Amino acid sequence: MHKMKDGKVVQFIGFRGEEYNSAVKIWGEPDFIHPVNDYRANVEIDWENDIIIFAGKERPGVKRFYRREYADMNLKGTKWLDY
């Protein structure tokens, strides 16, 4: 995993097309890419230590529901639904 020189992980949320290319020019290749700020992204983000870059309409306080399979996450009784 690529880490910036200060040890922080870079995560992009909501980038598409040319927005992504522009962000890479500034921040370099991200360590993680999230299509939207959803519950899955919030499990993978360390809000105190990671560098989170939002695009478009994505915002830190707004979590979207995104339809994709969570094969490695048990929906019943997991903490990620509590975020």
Range(s) of the domain holding residue 51: 10-82
Looking at this protein, which amino acid is placed at residue 65? F
Q: Is residue 60 part of a domain?
A: yes
The predicted-structure confidence for 48-63, as pLDDT tens digits, reads as follows 999 999 988 776 766 6
For residues 29 and 62, give the distance between their C-alpha atoms in angstroms, rounded to a whole number. 24
Q: Is residue 41 part of a domain?
A: yes
Report the domain count for the chain. 1
pLDDT recorded at residue 83: 43
Q: Is residue 5 part of a domain?
A: no
| Both tokens assigned to 50 | 């990671």
| Both tokens assigned to 37 | 């700020």
For residues 46 and 18, give the distance between their C-alpha atoms in angstroms, rounded to a whole number. 26
For residues 17 and 21, give the distance between their C-alpha atoms in angstroms, rounded to a whole number. 7
Other CB atoms within a 10 A radius of the CB of residue 38 amount to 21
- pTM of whole model > 0.85? no
Q: Is residue 1 part of a domain?
A: no
